[in-house]
């Protein structure tokens, strides 16, 4: 990464020569490959190398952020010009600035985020893996009648970050993801579902046969789905849906939503915002995990932050800017995007409880086991929540028939406070993970 | 790019040294004998975003993305290679990646490539691209918006606003040796307000734009209307009561509620899903899927609209495709691959997010043609129901046809009168039958203001929707009040 370090240093000295007081540069290079098969035949192959430079400059308390995929000398000179012009046009902001040099990462731990297999895997092997996983779904049952295919995606990235405090840090990451989307059909009705595995390492992927068979089971169990009458009932969130619910905490506890006043958790630090059984942690230091990295988007080391402890809101997720605005300290959650810095969670999880998923389902006399949510009906300002839902109906503690074309609705604060059972089945399948959760009561709209 | 003689072909020739004869050789390298189709796509995109919060503009960003991709297609297979470093050598590598799909070891000879064709439409002639207007003009606009929104009502406590601008230059060389380019402007103003009254805190958002100059936002004081509209919605929502839960009659207002069509039928009529027979609409051309008063079109040729294109991302001129005519399913939206495999005509709907993506059939501007009913009469016809006038996003499962879209401003209808505002709620239905329950179609077709972005398979593209006021006899409304 010597060339990228050189490029970063060069850009920093150029903007300094223009009078910038502070600046930072992020260089990201990614090799990616996509292999898609459908109905046992190869459907698409895609591969590429991409790179992008992100530049942020500050003139006192005014700043601008730019990025480009054009690495030519002329383009970079132009980038420097335009960034400086743009920064001078913006109004000053007292809280703006790089993290203090004392806050920057002193060492860069190897978190085991890179597996060179991402660049070494041959086309034939990729195709074979995707085909194996799709075949496992297609062969699982004669009612698997069609498929949207299976895909293996790999990414290998290198990240170099440098700023005008003299900090330079770098690391590599890789991701492997395998997904299968079979279609089950019976009596002229079709149902699609999917299953996936994502990992930093090739060995960490679930076996293709398991991914395919799980996808098939999920599609099959949706056959014969129907609506249920409108009612209030308990809802059991399966682990993926519980993780989706947990993302609402990440969004609402983000320092940006807090200082903007666009969060249902506003002014609730130290308050009970969830049931006693709910403890939520964000940890960017877990070896090999999908949300881990040695330092965040502005060079601050990642860390473990207890966001909610026994239902009490303990901490927001913060980058340097939000931290200064709120009179707090950065939690190492700065993410870099095209528009500059934003706040993002790392590995966010809900600490598992003691109940098995079977016990949780068994506790419900009549209610919904939720397996899919669709739509965007979440108002983060008020916490009002209303989304399309798919799942299985629970009767007398047993999963019975599939349901669809219904909504579930409530208010997030009420929902989090009424979690009355937390499962013991936490598995990291992505950056956000949660065990099976049960909410005592929500409104289901159907017939 | 204020140069009025700028053409995409000249731009890529001068900036990257890509000449007409290079295109033919690269295409030849991608295609081989077994390939049925292929293309090269060049893209250069400048994007800028300037935003306001706390009453000042302190955030500005700009980005440049450039790249080129080479695609080869054989039967239903696609090979695609791309690079953000546009050189002849990298394009040759991309061509080899693409060719691998046809299990092809031999490249064909160079494809005879002609000079660039003028595009068949000129839907967005602009003199000054919004990205070329200095930041100061946008900052001034944002500051005025802040004042207008705050002046609307003292309960408006926060205003966020942003101007996003783009200039995109594309050049497409097809397997037939046709070369076509386009230069696309895009501008969007977004305003969002927080209102507080001591008991409640609520939000309202509005905005608009399209393939216009920045001055579009100033014409007829459009930005003032957007600012007041965002403030008005936030204030209305302060008094919103719980939305009803259950199956009710629903009246959708004109304009943006057309997102119903996008989700309920639009995606299900995209060619790829129908060629693969995975759509709830597969094999149903010629069948009745809507009430006889319902006609729905997708039209990429409306001047200046956010979803409009002179040519699609495969170089096909856009057009107007009738999807549903008087209630009967008439057409699918096609790209080249799916049109070829289905033996159907291309419709100019092959779109991609960028050079890093493979084209797919996508919507452009999708709307229902107006009927004859007076909108007030439609509302009066409902005894007990929901009147929904503004929406957030939606989503659909194209295989079982179930779709949702979420109201952000809605009211109860009681005895034919619009009464109290209700909180946001998701509406859910079944695509193949929801339009059969459209019992009244208003005479007030409106297109949306120009804010829509559609996501499919991880690719986002700008789109438009439109709707006259309609009555739907029964939809499931996902509120909390029983």
Residue-level pLDDT at B45: 97
What would the two tokens of residue A106 be?
Answer: 């002193």
Q: What is the pLDDT of residues A71-92, one digit of tens each?
A: 999 999 999 999 999 999 999 9
Mean pLDDT over B61-69 rounds to 95
B406: pLDDT strictly greater than 70:
yes
Q: Which residues on adjacent β-strands are paired with residue B465?
A: B366
Residue written as token pair 């005509």 = B345
Q: Is the pLDDT confidence value at B153 over 90?
A: yes
Query: Do the Cβ atoms of A190 and B280 come within 8 Å?
Result: yes
Residue of chain B with shortest Cα separation from A376: B393
Out of A62, A68, A382, closest to residue B202 by CB: A382
Decide if A54 contacts A4 (C-beta within 8 A): no
Closest CA to B202 of B376, B409, B33: B409
Contacts of residue B243 in chain A, CB cutoff 8 Å? 386, 409
| CA–CA separation, A183 and A179 (whole Å) | 13
Which residues is A409 bridged to in the sheet?
A386, A443
Question: Are B425 and A386 inside 8 Å of each other by CB?
Answer: yes
Residue B53 is nearest to which of A260, A266, A444, comparing CB atoms? A260
| Inter-chain residue contact B397 with A46, CB threshold 8 Å | no
Q: Does B147 touch chain A (CB under 8 A)?
A: no
Q: What pLDDT, on the 0 to 100 scale, is given for residue B3?
A: 52
pLDDT attached to residue B115: 77
B274: closest CA among B226, B334, B215? Answer: B334
CB contact at 8 A, B308 and B124: yes
C-beta atoms of A377 and B82 within 8 A:
no
Q: What percent of chain B has pLDDT over 70?
A: 98
Q: Which residues of B touch A260 (CB under 8 A)?
A: 53, 158, 160, 194
B83 contacts A43? CB cut-off 8 A = no
Interface probe with B: pick from A96, A123, A409, most Cβ of B within 10 Å: A409
Cβ atoms of residues A307 and A253 within 8 Å: yes
Categorize the per-residue pLDDT at B106 as very low, low, confident or very high, splitting at 50, 70 and 90. low
Whole-number Å distance between alpha carbons of B401 and B435: 12
B96 pLDDT exceeds 90? no
Q: What is the pLDDT of residue B1?
A: 43
Full set of structural domains in chain A with CATH: 2-220 (3.30.2290.10), 231-244+352-445 (no CATH), 247-348 (no CATH)
Interface contact B100-A45, CB threshold 8 A: yes
What's the pLDDT tens digit per position in A207-242? 999 999 999 999 999 999 999 999 999 999 999 999
More confident residue, B113 or A85: A85
The per-residue pLDDT for range A105-116, each reduced to its tens digit, is 999 999 999 999
Rounded Cα–Cα distance for residues A184 and A191 (Å):
5
In angstroms, the Cα distances linking B111 to B8, B23, B40, B95 are: 20, 8, 12, 13
Contact B245 A43 (CB under 8 A): no
φ/ψ (deg, to 5) at A273: -115, -5
Cβ separation of B80 and A190 shorter than 8 Å? no
Q: Residue B401: which of B366, B436, B359, B358 has the closest Cα?
A: B436
CB contact under 8 A, A93 and B430: no
* pLDDT score at B113: 80
The answer to whether residue B417 neighbours chain A at the CB level (below 8 Å) is no
| Interface check B277 vs A, CB under 8 A | yes
Mutation target for B interface from A443, A444, A446: give the one with most B CBs within 10 A.
A443
Asked if A407 and B392 come within 8 Å (Cβ–Cβ), the reply is no
pLDDT band per the 50, 70, 90 thresholds, residue B112: confident
pLDDT at B108: 65
Q: Tell me: pLDDT of B2 over 50.
A: no
User: By the 8 A CB rule, do B237 and B338 touch?
Assistant: no
Predicted confidence (pLDDT) per residue in B449-476, tens digit: 999 999 999 999 999 999 999 999 999 9
Measured in angstroms, the CA of B61 and the nearest CA of chain A are apart by 5
Kindly state the helix (H) or strand (E) to which residue A326 belongs, with its residue range: helix A320-326
Helix or strand (DSSP H, E) at A208:
helix A208-220
Q: Give CA–CA dist B439/B243, Å, rounded.
A: 23
Q: How far is B96 from chain A (nearest CA, A)?
A: 11
CB contact under 8 A, B58 and A90: yes
Mean pLDDT of chain A: 96
Tokens of B369: 């043609």
Best mutation target among B63, B282, B398, B454 (most A Cβ atoms within 10 Å) is: B63
**Tens digits of residue pLDDT in A375-424:** 999 999 999 999 999 999 999 999 999 999 999 999 999 999 999 999 99
Query: Which of the residue ranges A221-235, B77-91, B202-216, B351-365 would you say has the lowest mean pLDDT?
Result: B77-91
CA distance B432 to chain A (A): 12
Cβ(B87)–Cβ(B16) below 8 Å: yes
Domain architecture of chain B: domains with CATH: 8-238 (3.30.2290.10), 245-478 (no CATH)
Of the candidates A96, A123, A339, which has its C-beta nearest B100's C-beta? A123
Give the model's pLDDT for residue B104.
Answer: 54
Q: What are phi and psi of B378, to 5 degrees?
A: -60, -45
Closest of B408, B55, B378 to residue B229, by C-alpha? B408
- CA–CA dist B169, B12 (Å, integer): 9
B200 touches chain A (CB under 8 A): yes
ipTM: 0.94
What residue ranges in A216-365 does DSSP mark as E strands?
Answer: 231-237, 280-283, 304-309, 312-313, 334-337, 340-343, 348-350
Tell me whether B190 touches chain A (CB under 8 Å). Answer: no
- CB distance A45–B78 less than 8 Å? yes
With a cut of 90, say whether residue B100 has pLDDT above it.
no
Mean pLDDT across the stretch B247-263?
97
Q: B325 vs B113, B346, B403, CA distance in Å? A: 39, 19, 21
Cβ within 8 Å, pair B428-A123: no
Residues of chain B contacting residue A222, judged by C-beta atoms under 8 Å apart: 400
Q: Is the pLDDT of residue A39 over 70?
A: yes
Q: Chain A within 8 Å of B419 (Cβ-Cβ)?
A: no
Out of A66, A92, A409, name the one closest to residue B479 (CB).
Answer: A409
Pairing of strands B245-252, B384-396: parallel
Compute the CA torsion angle A128, A129, A135, A136 (nearest 10 deg): 150
Residue A369 has phi, psi (to 5 degrees) of -95, 110
């Amino acid at each position: 990464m010597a060339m990228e370090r050189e490029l970063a240093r060069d850009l920093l000295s150029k903007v300094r020569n223009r009078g910038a007081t502070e600046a930072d540069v992020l260089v990201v290079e990614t090799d990616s490959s996509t292999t898609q098969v459908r109905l046992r035949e190869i459907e698409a192959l895609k591969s590429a190398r991409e790179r992008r430079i992100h530049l942020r400059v500050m003139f006192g308390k005014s700043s601008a952020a730019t990025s480009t995929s054009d690495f030519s000398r002329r383009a970079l000179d132009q980038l420097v010009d335009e960034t400086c012009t743009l920064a001078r046009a913006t109004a000053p902001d007292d809280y703006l600035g790089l993290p203090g040099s004392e806050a920057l990462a002193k060492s860069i731990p190897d978190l085991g985020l890179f597996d060179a297999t991402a660049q070494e895997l041959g086309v034939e092997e990729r195709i074979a893996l995707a085909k194996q996983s799709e075949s496992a779904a297609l062969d699982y049952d004669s009612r698997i009648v069609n498929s949207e295919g299976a895909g293996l995606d790999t990414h290998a990235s290198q990240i170099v970050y440098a700023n005008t405090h003299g900090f330079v840090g770098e690391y590599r990451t890789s991701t492997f993801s395998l997904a299968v989307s079979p279609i089950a059909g019976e009596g002229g009705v079709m149902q699609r579902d999917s299953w996936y595995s994502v990992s930093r390492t090739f060995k960490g992927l679930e076996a293709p046969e398991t991914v395919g068979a799980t996808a098939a089971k999920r599609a099959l169990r949706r056959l014969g789905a129907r609506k249920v009458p409108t009612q209030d009932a308990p809802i059991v969130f399966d682990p993926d849906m519980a993780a989706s619910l947990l993302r609402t905490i990440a969004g609402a506890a983000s320092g940006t939503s807090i200082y903007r006043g666009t969060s249902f958790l506003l002014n609730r630090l130290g308050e009970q915002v969830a049931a006693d059984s709910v403890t939520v942690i964000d940890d960017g230091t877990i070896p090999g995990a999908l949300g881990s990295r040695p330092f965040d988007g502005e060079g601050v080391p990642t860390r473990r932050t207890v966001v909610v402890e026994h239902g009490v809101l303990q901490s927001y997720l913060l980058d340097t800017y939000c931290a200064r605005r709120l009179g707090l300290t950065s939690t190492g959650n700065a993410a870099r995007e095209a528009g500059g810095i934003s706040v993002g969670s790392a590995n966010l999880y809900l600490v598992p409880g003691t109940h098995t998923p079977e016990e949780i389902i068994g506790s419900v006399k009549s209610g919904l086991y939720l397996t899919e949510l669709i739509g965007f009906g979440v108002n983060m300002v008020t916490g009002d929540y209303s989304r399309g839902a798919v799942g299985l109906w629970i009767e007398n503690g047993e999963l019975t028939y599939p349901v669809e074309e219904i909504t579930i609705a409530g208010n997030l604060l009420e929902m989090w406070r009424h979690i009355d059972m937390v499962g013991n089945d936490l598995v990291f399948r992505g950056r956000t993970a949660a065990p099976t959760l049960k909410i005592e009561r929500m409104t289901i709209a159907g017939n | 790019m204020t140069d009025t003689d700028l053409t995409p072909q000249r731009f890529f020739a001068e900036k990257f040294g890509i000449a007409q004869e290079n295109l033919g050789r690269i295409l030849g390298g991608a295609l081989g004998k077994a390939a049925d189709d292929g293309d090269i796509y060049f893209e250069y995109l400048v994007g800028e975003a300037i935003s306001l919060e706390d009453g000042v503009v302190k955030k500005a960003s700009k980005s440049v993305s450039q790249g080129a991709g080479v695609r080869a297609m054989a039967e239903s297979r696609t090979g695609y290679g791309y690079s953000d470093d546009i050189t002849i050598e990298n394009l040759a590598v991309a061509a080899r990646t693409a060719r691998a799909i046809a299990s092809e070891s031999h490249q064909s000879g160079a494809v005879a490539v002609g000079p660039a064709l003028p595009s068949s439409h000129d839907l967005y002639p602009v003199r000054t691209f919004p990205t070329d207007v200095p930041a100061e003009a946008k900052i001034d606009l944002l500051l005025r918006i802040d004042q207008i929104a705050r002046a609307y009502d003292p309960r408006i406590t926060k205003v966020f606003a942003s101007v996003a601008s783009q200039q995109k230059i594309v050049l497409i060389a097809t397997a037939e040796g046709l070369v076509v380019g386009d230069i696309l402007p895009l501008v969007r103003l977004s305003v969002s307000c927080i209102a507080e009254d001591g008991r409640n805190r609520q939000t309202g958002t509005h905005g608009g734009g399209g393939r216009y100059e920045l001055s579009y936002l100033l014409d007829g004081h459009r930005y003032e209307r957007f600012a007041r509209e965002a403030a008005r919605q936030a204030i209305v929502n302060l008094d919103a009561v719980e939305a009803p839960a259950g199956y009710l009659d629903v009246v959708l207002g004109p304009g943006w509620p057309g997102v119903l069509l996008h989700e309920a039928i639009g995606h299900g009529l995209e060619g790829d899903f129908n060629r693969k027979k995975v759509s709830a609409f597969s094999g149903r051309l010629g069948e009745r899927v809507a009430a006889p008063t319902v006609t729905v079109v997708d039209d990429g040729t409306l001047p200046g609209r956010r979803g409009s294109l002179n040519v699609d991302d495969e170089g096909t001129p856009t057009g107007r495709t009738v999807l549903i005519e008087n209630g009967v399913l008439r057409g699918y939206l096609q790209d080249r691959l799916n049109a070829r495999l289905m033996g159907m005509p291309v419709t100019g709907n092959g779109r991609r997010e960028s050079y890093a993506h493979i084209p797919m059939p996508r919507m452009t501007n999708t709307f229902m043609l107006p009927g004859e009913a007076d909108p007030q009469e439609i509302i009066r016809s409902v005894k007990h129901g929901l009147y929904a006038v503004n929406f957030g996003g939606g989503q659909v499962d194209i295989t079982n046809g179930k779709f949702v879209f979420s109201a952000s401003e809605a009211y109860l209808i009681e005895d034919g009168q619009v009464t109290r505002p209700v909180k946001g709620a998701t509406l859910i239905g079944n695509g193949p039958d929801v339009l059969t329950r459209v019992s009244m179609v208003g005479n007030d077709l409106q297109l949306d203001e120009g804010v829509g972005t559609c996501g499919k398979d991880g690719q986002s593209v700008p789109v438009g929707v439109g709707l006259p006021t309609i009555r739907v006899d029964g939809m499931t409304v996902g509120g909390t009040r029983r």
